[in-house]
Each structure stands twice: as C-alpha cells, then as structure tokens.
Structure 1
Amino acid sequence: MFSYLAHRRACYAKQEERRARIESLPAVYRTPLTASDKDVLAKPIAAIVTDVQKGALKPRDVLAAYGKAALKAHAATNCLTEVFIQEAESSAESCNTKGPLAGMPVSLKDEISVAGVDACIGYSAWVGIKQQDSALARLLRDAGAVPYVKTNVPITMLSFECANDVFGATTNPHNRNYVPGGSSGGEAALIAFGGSRVGVGSDGAGSVRLPSHYSGVYTIKASSYRFLKSGNAHTSVPGEQGVGVAFSPMARTLGDLETFWRAVMSMEPWEYDSSVLALPWREVDLSSQKSIRWGVMWDDGVVAPSPACNRALQTVVKTLEAHGHQVVTVDPPSPAEGLKLASQLLMADGAKRCTNPIRPGETNDPAMRAALGMFRAPRLFKTLYAWYLRYVARDPLYADLVAAWSEKSVAEYCALVFQRDAYRERWHAYMKEQGLDFILTVPNSLPAVPHGGMKEGWKACGYTFLFNLLDYSAGVLPVTHVDRLRDALGPFKPRNAIERGQYKMYDADKMHGLPVGVQVVGRRLQEEKVLEGMKLIQRLLEEDGKAYAPLSMAG
C-alpha cells in the first residue's frame, strides 16, 4: 500500500512539474507562430547553422521557434517528458556560434542524461533523481547545439508502444488512435509533428527504426560503438551485451540526418566517450561503383508484410529496377532463428533488470505483461504448451520460441553468445557470396498499431531485431502512406500464432494515412554507406514523382 501511494505521489509530482515548467515559460512561447518562426522551422539544419555562424540568425530566435513548435507537438501528442526550454535560453545565449551545430535545438530521448533534469524513463521510483550531462550532451553543447526537451518512452523501453504512468501515453501525430512507435516514440512524434528537426534515441530491437516507420521520419541505427552512449545513468537493461543497444539520431529529413551525423563525427566523439571507436566519417561515392547489388528480403518467415508494407517495398524495388539497378530476392540464414536467438539473449535474465524498478500497482506495458507471463511460467507448463503447439496446433515456429523463453544460467548465456557469433559468421559469408551491398526489407509487418497492440505484436519484431543481433547498420526512410483501397487485406491464412496476432490489428481503412517506411541495411559499421543508399533511393523516388509527403511543420 505504501509503495503504491509513493508511486501515485511521484506520478502526480512529475506531471505537476512538467505542467508548471510549461506554464512558467515566457508568454512568447504560448503565442502563435510568426512568419519569422515559420521561416526558421522551414530551414534545414545546415541552413540554420550557416545563418547562426554568419550572425544572420540568433540562437535565441531559433530556440523560440522550436520551443513553440515543441509545445504544440506536445499538446497534440503528449510527447514531452522534461521541458527545460528556459534553461536552454541561457545555453542559446552562450552557445558556440562557430560549431558544426551552432544554435541548433536538439531533442533527446528521456533516457539520455542532461544536467539538472530527471531521466526516470517512465519508472516512478526514479522520479526526482537529477542527472549530470552525458557524453552526448557534453559533445552537443561543445558543437554549439542547444538541448531543450526530452521525450517519452514506454516503461521498460522494451516495446513499440509509448506509455507509462509517470507521463501518460504518446499518440501518433498522424492518427491519435495509433502509437508513434517505441521505445523512442516521443522523439518520433515530436519530429514528425515539426517540434524538432533532429533528436537522439536508442535502439536495442528496433527502437529508433520502428518509431521512424510508424511516424514517418528518418533514422540510421548505428552499429555498436559508433555513436556515444556513456554517462546515461538510467536504462532498463544495464550491462546488455548479448544484443547491443545503439544510440542513434532521428531526423525530419534525410538531409538533416546527414548534417547531424557529420557534425557529431567531426567532433571526434571518441574523445568524449571511451566506448566509441576512433572511426572518422568516411566519404562513400556509390556513383563510382560499377554495380550496386540490392538484396530484397520479402518475408522473414515469421510474419509476412501487410499489403501496405509490401507495397512500400515494391515501390522501392520497382524504382531501382526501372533505373537499371541490380535487385535480387534473397534467402539469407534463417531470420526466424535470429529472432529466437535475439529474444533469448535480450531477456536472458528473465526480464528482471527491466522490471525490478516497477512498483506495486505501477502499470506495465502490454508487451512486457505478455512476455513476463511467458518467461515466468513454470518450465513444465512451457514444455507441455510447446508440445501442443508443435504436434496439435502444427505451429513449430512458435513452439520453438515458447520452449526457449526462460531465464538462463551463465553457462546457457555463454552458449547463446557462441551461437550468436556463429550465426553472424553465416550472415557474413552469405553477404559476401551473394555480393550484396544492401538488404532491403520492411521495418515491420504492419504500419503503426493501435494503443494496446503490443499485447499481440510483441513477438513480431524480427525485421528490426535481426539487425541488432547482427550489429548491422540499418536505416529507415518513409516511402508512402496507407491507402484504404490499394492496401485492403484479401483472403489470408496465418501461418503461425505470431502472424495471426499481428493480422488481428491490420485494418487498411482505419490505418488510412499512416506512414509506411522501408529499411535499408548495410553491414557492420557502414553507416555512411547506408546513408548514401537511402539518398539514392530517395532521389530516384523524387525523380519519378513518388516523393514522400511529411506532415506540415508544427501540424
């Protein structure tokens, strides 16, 4: 009882603090966007930085425009957690106006530590623990950037939804009945709405790529040790090594994403964070390659892409083929095996780390509630259930997963790491044998799901989770929107329980207008090459009149 009361008090206190911070802002932040504000919001990051460096634009004016837009985005989607715009005004006044991010406001996922504010990531037990600047925050300030808000996440940060008791649920800016993605869902909602041009999230199973797909923004998930991550005091899976978590930027446009990546790398991030590889940004010219070979993974063998997601992938493939590119269908080492391995490694502790901070009475995420029920069930029950699935329900794929979901001993964990490394070797050999430059696939089998959808969808994360297991660089770019006529579901017979659960949520009529993206995957530490592949695809789509239409800035 006392713990539950402490939980409710912490949630109330945090929500009141957020409300008070917003209400105490200077009146200018509650006024309509002016013509000059709109002009600032329309500028790409490169233009803002250039104008600030030349003295043609004041950092305070840039912050005012983005502060207003962020509050509008929050009013529409409930995307913000920490609002420190007033403190950011001082930062804007004294920022490095010659730096590669001079005067640019940058939003951050709640997990990323910023001096003087919380990083509770939706756990009420962690409310009120003020942080120091992480390595990323220090680098951004030195580069001239101005951190100003942090954004919402799902409790445990192991879900594609975005809700917790402390801050509430964040909604998709395209349709409030749907989620913006997770766990970097608040970032995606803020950026898609126009309240930020660039922010940083983290990705352990798809947590920057799924929100980008669901909300219609751009990202490249870095390989491990390419982007800064140290100095963040609170995370839901501390010490995770089986499946690496990579912090990575998300942006409103592909040009903004490139500008930010280049700016961060120009600051030599390995000097701020000892875990970052001393690997400067490399120039990649795809036009100098005689032949680019694109491999298409149409189906991961677990859940077939929905009509909307398949159409987006078809659009990219047909565009590449029409422009003379070599595109081949691939059959790589079993993605289903990768899903089984990845899920065991990430949850090797039986989900204890991510659930230990949860207080009695605190609402857990639908995905984690479902996962915990499976992980904590007695082994005898799971053995019998797996037998039923395999021999009665004729669902061997789901049977294999169920049988494997349990807390691991150290010996079992080490054996899984050994299997992971062997699996990576098989993929490495396959990519070389096939001469593949990129893998093209969907980011998920569905567009954004309705709130509560992860109760069914938590197992259907293979299209992104696979590339965390492999530690490959992987980007997502929005391509189209769901169309209720073209993307209607015809006769369909699910192959397994995971597919059945996913397709319960697919409704092209209700999903009409939601963004749909495509995933572009390179090998490990090929962030520059993936960026160039994304740029090539976007340029060809634009030439063919198929450019993606984002939401108008600030709604």
Structure 2
Amino acid sequence: MISKILTYPVVQTFDTPQGTPEFEEKRALLLQEFWDKVPQELYLTQNIISNPPTHVMDIPSTCGILTPEEVEITENYDATGLAEAIATKKYSAVAVVTAFAKRAIICHQLTCCLTQWFMDSAIERAKELDEHLKKTGMTVGPLHGVPISIKEHMPITGTYSSQGCFASIVKDDQDCEMVAILRSMGAVFYCKTNQPQTIMHLESDSHWGRVLNPHNIHLSAGGSTGGEAALITMYGSPLGIGTDIGGSVRGPSAFCGIYGFKPTSYTLPMKGFLATAFPAELNVLCSTGPMCRTLRDMELFMRLVLSTKPYLIDPRIIPIPWTGSATSVEKKLKVGIISNDGFIEPQPPVKRAIAWAKKALSDPKFADIIEVKGFQPYDAREAWYKIRHMYWPDAGKVSKDAIFSTGEPLHPLSEWIWKDAETLGMQDAVQVSQARAERDEYRCKFAESWNEQDVDVVVGPAFVGPACAHDTAFYWTYTSLYNFVDYPGVVFPTPIKTEANETYVDDYVPLSEECKHVRELWEASNFEGAPVDLQINARKYHDNYLFGALEILKDALELK
C-alpha cells in the first residue's frame, strides 16, 4: 500500500478533498502552525510514512523515539494507576506528561488523530504540579499530573476549537465546564483530537485530514470522536472525553477496541461545549462520557466529575448521586442478548462476538447471579428513519452554509447524513413539535416492549460490523437507537478479532435493503485484524445500575 502524502508527515490512505485555492491556502497555514511546534527528533522516518504496515499499533514502542521508561509509562498504566504512581512519586508529572505527549505525536503521524498538540505548555503545568507536591507533600487533586486528551470542539483556554468546519474555528479564552473540573483536580491537557466535518458522522475526516484505524489503516477509526479512539487504543492517551448523539463515543471506541460510556443525557456537564446552538438537540439530546482502556477508569471519571456537583453550575444536569460499581443489584440479573435488531444483521465477526458473550454468560458457574434471555429491540427500523430526520430540522442548511462560506469542500459522508432530511426542507415549530410527539410515542412503546421481554440490561452489537471501510459509515442503528430512547450504554472489548476470509452463513437472508447493503460492504473490503466490541445498555437514568450490572458481569465477560 502506498499512502498518499501531503506536505506533512502523516499517513493518509485517501486524498483529502480539495476546496477552493483560497481555502487550501488557509488550510495549509493551519497545518503549518501545527507542525511548527513539533521538534524534528519526534518525526518518524519517511519510509514509515511512505510505506506503513496495515497494522500500526506497534510502531510507537519500536520506532526508537520513546525511551524504555516512556514505553513503560504509556503502556503499563491506566489513568487510575498513573494517578497513584505520580502521587507516590514513582514518576514525576513531567515524566508522565512528556511520555504521553511524545507518544501522541507519533500516533498522529500514523493515524491523523490530533488537531492540536501543546507539549510545551503541558510540561510547564506538570513542572508546577511536581513543585507543589515537593513543597506540600500533597497532590492538588485526585488527577494530579494525569494527562487527558480532549475532543476538538471542547474549549480549552488558549487553544482553538471548531464545530467541524473551517468557518467555525474560534480561539477560546476560557475552559468549558468539563475541562475546568478536570483541571481543578490536577489533570494536564496536552492535545486535542480529530472529529468529522459537521461532527455528525461516524468517520472522523475534517480539514485536518482523515483518522485511520490503528488496527487496520484501511478502516475508519469511527466518529465523531474518532481521534480520541485512535489515540487511546495506541496508548497515546490514558483517558479522553467524547460526545455522543448517535454513537460518537461508542462507535469509535468499538472500532478501536476500547471502553466507552454514553450516559443518559444531562448526567455529565456539557456547558460550553459548542460555540453555537445545535438544532438536532431540539429532539435528540447529546451526552458526554469517558473513553479509556479499563472499566475502573470509566468508574473513576464518573465518580470524580459528579463529586463536584456540576448541577449547581448547570441546572440542566440531573443531580443523581454516583454509586457506580457499588450499586446493589438485589436479584438475579436478567441479561437480554441481541442477535440482531430485526433491521440489519451484523457482519460475521460481530456474530461470533455475540455467540461468545452468550456462551460466557450462560456458563453454569454464573447461574445463581445471571439469567440469559433473548431480546429483540422494538422496531429499530422506525427509530433509524425517525432519528435521521430529527438530526436535521434545518435540513442541514446551517452546516452546509458554514462549510461553503470558506470554500471548504463537502466531504462524502457530510452530504449523506442529511440526505433524508433535505427532502423535508426547513421544519417549522409545529413540525418539530410533532416530531417530538412521535419520538415520545416510540419511547413509550420501546419501554413497554423492554418490560414485556423482562430484562434488566441488554448485550448486543455496537455496530453492524467490527469497523467500516473509509467513507462507508452509513448505518449506526445499533448505537443511535439508544440516543433516540436516551438509554445509557457502555461498549467493551471482547477477545474476538476479525479474521481473514470470514463469510456470511449460507442460509443468510437480508432483513432489509440496508441489511443487504451491509453484506455488500463486507464483501468489498478487508477487515482483518479489526477488534470487536459489544454494547451493554440499561434503562434511562439507570446509569448506576448499569455499572452495578457490569460489576456482576465482569468475570464472565473478561472485563478489565
């Protein structure tokens, strides 16, 4: 495979769409500003950039740029472990931040996962933290010196943010609420990560370039938090923050084989996340949540952020105390297994993962605590059609106008995502209100069906496949369903990896035209090496219960 090289040392398997000459000039200046901050000694060799392997996961630790200690710091500790190691002075904050900042820029060269990289200011902050610990013998907080990566659109003081297009770039003079909370606990910010044009599709391709999946660079890392997912799975970050209105935390986490949590809406603070209002949230609410490599880091993040009582600053947040993994599940846990959603049959490796989970949970040694049942989501086809319209009550006009205003090119999936809503045109207040009534009616029917099937949580696919080939992220039905009903969900890694030459079963019958298309997409690409995550969901506002259930399922599902 010969990668397509632009001016900068970043692997890209597709040419970036070209805009007007004026736009490309501005874009070049933006990229040049990024690379001006990167020391030459952190550049990978031209041979790696020009001739990368399909699987790039091992390059950061073997390329010679990181010291043995930096490899150990980045690969052997999660965020919880790093906080302890820094607090006990096993490692300095400077050593930890330096290791992750260096690794992050290596990861970027292999996957285009970053939009901004500010190693110098991060190290200065780490020095202050080390000095504080030396003088007082105390940390500034429970995340003292822990590096945290942040999605591009979330404001960090003194850096830039955007809403997925060039015209929306602004320089921020204050932290959003989430960043302010984490900073107060001692977290150190060192980079921001790539997202899609419009922030509304499952492929993170923007004016910064396209994020590649580290397990197989011919596949997408997902979106809209794809830069985070690629960075975390390559050990370039121990913990990141994403947002999810259709699968934007869970999809990329699943594509890259890490943990991701979408809470019920208004559980975690999102104040200041976007510079302007987002019309989709008239009927489909966004959530924010952690992305990481361990179950305990998800727990740590939720416990710490909610301990600050963010509802006192943002009254939209529901003040539900966090009990997490300590939440009591008083009876045998009834787990529904989703083989398919009645709309799209998952691709072969996902089917294998479901079979693995069903067998693991049905092991007789767990019979006293787990009951396994079949589960069929209520009318997933209807939910998919409705949510695609509700994302764009403005028919996509606001986003399109912003993109075109600078001469920026329209990316293929940007055009695809609002295709259905475009036919309806700009909705008026009555039409938006009617859509809400239809949404609420569906939610009640979904809840009724869940109750009739008598389950506590459900385990099923996180996506129609293990990942998708570039520019083919068309069907997010397995994640967007839970945005539509506003149920919390965690995606978690399984031992299943995609193998070469996997095929559909001989008696496969498509459930829909979309299902038939998903098989065609499978047969047109090579998914070898892609990890497979599954998803577990609970009822709305049952986020604590979900984590209590994960504690019960931890051994059976090999959660770490």
Question: In 2 relative to 1, CA 185–496 (structure 1 residues): closer, same or farther, beyond 3 Å?
Answer: same
Question: Do residues 356 (structure 1) and 419 (structure 2) align?
Answer: no
Question: Do residues 498 (structure 1) and 540 (structure 2) align?
Answer: no
Tell me what 1:64 maps to.
98
Say which SS state the counterpart of residue 527 (structure 2) adopts.
coil
Tell me what 2:372 maps to.
327
Further displaced range: 361-370 or 134-143? 361-370
Question: Do residues 148 (structure 1) and 190 (structure 2) align?
Answer: yes
Tell me what 2:472 maps to.
453
Q: Which residues in structure 2 correspond to 1:136-285 (within 5 Å)?
A: 136-164=178-206, 166-234=207-275, 237=278, 240-285=281-326
The one of 448, 453, 459 equivalent to 1:440 is 459
Further displaced range: 280-289 or 340-349? 280-289
Q: Which residues in structure 2 correspond to 1:519-534 (within 5 Å)?
A: 519-534=535-550
Question: In 2 relative to 1, CA 238–139 (structure 1 residues): closer, same or farther, beyond 3 Å?
Answer: farther
Counterpart residue type for residue 81 of structure 2: A
Counterpart residue type for residue 374 of structure 2: T
Decide whether the 8 Å contact of 2:329 with 2:548 is kept in 1. Answer: no
Matches of 2:324 and 2:176, distance apart in 1: 28
Say which SS state the counterpart of residue 149 (structure 1) adopts.
strand
CA deviation after TM superposition for structure 1 residue 45, in Å: 1.8
Output one character per residue of 1:481-526: Cα deviation in whole Å (capped at 9) or x when no partner.
Answer: 4443684224444343212222222149821210111110011122
Percent identity between matched residues is 27
Question: In 2 relative to 1, CA 14–481 (structure 1 residues): closer, same or farther, beyond 3 Å?
Answer: farther
The one of 30, 40, 50 equivalent to 1:14 is 30
Output one character per residue of 1:431-486: Cα deviation in whole Å (capped at 9) or x when no partner.
Answer: 334432101110111121111213xx2xx211111100111110100113444368
TM-score (norm 2): 0.85
CA deviation after TM superposition for structure 1 residue 534, in Å: 3.3
Decide whether the 8 Å contact of 1:14 with 1:127 is kept in 2. Answer: no
Corresponding pairs, count: 509
Matches of 1:270 and 1:102, distance apart in 2: 24
The one of 77, 81, 85 equivalent to 2:119 is 85
Structure 1 residues not aligned, in runs of 5+: 378-404, 549-555
Output one character per residue of 1:337-358: Cα deviation in whole Å (capped at 9) or x when no partner.
Answer: 2122222211222112332310
CA deviation after TM superposition for structure 1 residue 90, in Å: 2.2
Further displaced range: 472-481 or 355-364? 355-364
Decide whether the 8 Å contact of 2:299 with 2:324 is kept in 1. Answer: no
Question: Do residues 114 (structure 1) and 148 (structure 2) align?
Answer: no
Q: Which residues in structure 2 correspond to 1:389-408 (within 5 Å)?
A: 406-408=425-427
Say which SS state the counterpart of residue 116 (structure 2) adopts.
strand
Counterpart residue type for residue 494 of structure 2: V
Structural RMSD (CA): 2.6
Question: Do residues 54 (structure 1) and 88 (structure 2) align?
Answer: yes
Say which SS state the counterpart of residue 240 (structure 1) adopts.
helix
Question: In 2 relative to 1, CA 295–111 (structure 1 residues): closer, same or farther, beyond 3 Å?
Answer: same
Tell me what 1:511 maps to.
527
Question: Do residues 368 (structure 1) and 414 (structure 2) align?
Answer: yes
Counterpart residue type for residue 84 of structure 2: T
The one of 409, 434, 446 equivalent to 1:415 is 434
Further displaced range: 295-304 or 230-239? 230-239
Question: Do residues 39 (structure 1) and 60 (structure 2) align?
Answer: no
Question: In 2 relative to 1, CA 91–268 (structure 1 residues): closer, same or farther, beyond 3 Å?
Answer: farther
Say which SS state the counterpart of residue 357 (structure 1) adopts.
helix
Say which SS state the counterpart of residue 199 (structure 1) adopts.
strand
Tell me what 2:11 maps to.
none
TM-score (norm 1): 0.85
Question: Do residues 488 (structure 1) and 503 (structure 2) align?
Answer: yes
Tell me what 1:104 maps to.
146
Question: In 2 relative to 1, CA 433–374 (structure 1 residues): closer, same or farther, beyond 3 Å?
Answer: closer
Output one character per residue of 1:126-158: Cα deviation in whole Å (capped at 9) or x when no partner.
Answer: 345345211111111101111111000110111
Question: In 2 relative to 1, CA 485–68 (structure 1 residues): closer, same or farther, beyond 3 Å?
Answer: closer
Matches of 1:519 and 1:216, distance apart in 2: 12
Question: In 2 relative to 1, CA 114–282 (structure 1 residues): closer, same or farther, beyond 3 Å?
Answer: same
Output one character per residue of 1:13-37: Cα deviation in whole Å (capped at 9) or x when no partner.
Answer: 111111112238999x997322322
Further displaced range: 145-154 or 433-442? 433-442
Counterpart residue type for residue 167 of structure 1: W
Question: In 2 relative to 1, CA 511–477 (structure 1 residues): closer, same or farther, beyond 3 Å?
Answer: same
Tell me what 2:135 maps to.
none
The one of 107, 112, 115 equivalent to 1:73 is 107
Matches of 1:301 and 1:342, distance apart in 2: 17
Matches of 2:312 and 2:434, distance apart in 1: 35
Decide whether the 8 Å contact of 2:341 with 2:377 is kept in 1. Answer: no
Question: Do residues 123 (structure 1) and 165 (structure 2) align?
Answer: yes
Matches of 2:291 and 2:218, distance apart in 1: 23
Further displaced range: 134-143 or 283-292? 283-292
Output one character per residue of 1:169-210: Cα deviation in whole Å (capped at 9) or x when no partner.
Answer: 110000111110001000000001110011001001000101
